[in-house]
């Protein structure tokens, strides 16, 4: 059975749309804004094809994917000036290669600790999501 048929990143299904908003395609991936914004600017970079593990990629594809992660991180840094960027690539229950990029701000939520996957505390208005996406897009 093709595992990509059940994958929210491959299918771009309603569950995915409830969790994130597509910002743009990058060279080897797609950049999404995570809707839960306890960490302003939090995004997800998902590899373009259905792959479970980073080591499954060729060196060229891995370098392109990691360049996308770096490009997105640099844009978030430029747009929001966090004190530190956290990265998460767990995928235990969602076996598709993707990195959470979580900007952390000194003296703010979870600074100095591990970020919660989905704390469900901060959601924005449509206008605020649009403004956040524009800030990131302009910084790319």
Q: Where are the domains of the chain?
A: 3-139
Separation between Cα atoms, residue 24 and residue 49, nearest integer Å: 15
- The confidence band for 6, taking pLDDT boundaries of 50, 70 and 90, is confident
Helix (H, G, I), strand (E, B) or coil at 102: strand
CATH number of 3-139: 3.30.428.10
Write the pLDDT tens digit of every residue in 86-140.
Answer: 999 988 888 899 999 999 999 999 999 999 989 999 999 999 999 999 999 999 9
Name the β-bridge partners of 20: 34
Q: Which residues of 25-63 are buried (b: 16+ CB within 10 A; e: fewer)?
A: ebebbbbbbbbbbbbbbbbbbbbbebbeeeeebeeebbe
Asked if residue 86 lies in contact with residue 104, where contact means CB atoms within 8 angstroms, the answer is yes
- Residue 9 has a pLDDT of 93
Separation between Cα atoms, residue 13 and residue 32, nearest integer Å: 14
- Residue 92 has a pLDDT of 86
Percentage of residues in the chain with pLDDT exceeding 70? 98
For residue 1, pLDDT beyond 70? no
Mean pLDDT estimate for the chain: 94
CB-facing half-sphere around the CA of 95: CA atoms within 13 A: 9
For residue 2, pLDDT beyond 70? no
- Residue 3 has a pLDDT of 60
Name the β-bridge partners of 102: 86
Q: The tokens 């594809």 sit on which residue? A: 61
């Amino acid at each position: 059975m093709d595992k990509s048929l059940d994958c929210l990143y491959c299918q771009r299904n309603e569950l995915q749309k409830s969790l994130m908003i597509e910002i743009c395609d990058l060279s080897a991936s797609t950049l999404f804004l995570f809707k839960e914004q306890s960490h302003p600017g939090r995004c997800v970079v998902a590899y373009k094809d259905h792959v479970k593990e980073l080591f499954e990629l060729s060196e060229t594809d891995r370098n392109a994917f990691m360049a996308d992660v770096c490009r997105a991180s640099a844009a978030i840094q430029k747009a929001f000036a966090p004190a530190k960027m956290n990265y998460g690539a767990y995928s235990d229950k969602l076996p598709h290669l993707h990195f959470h990029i979580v900007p952390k701000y000194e003296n703010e939520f979870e600074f100095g600790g591990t970020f919660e996957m989905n704390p469900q505390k901060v959601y924005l208005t449509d206008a605020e999501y649009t403004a956040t996406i524009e800030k990131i897009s302009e910084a790319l």
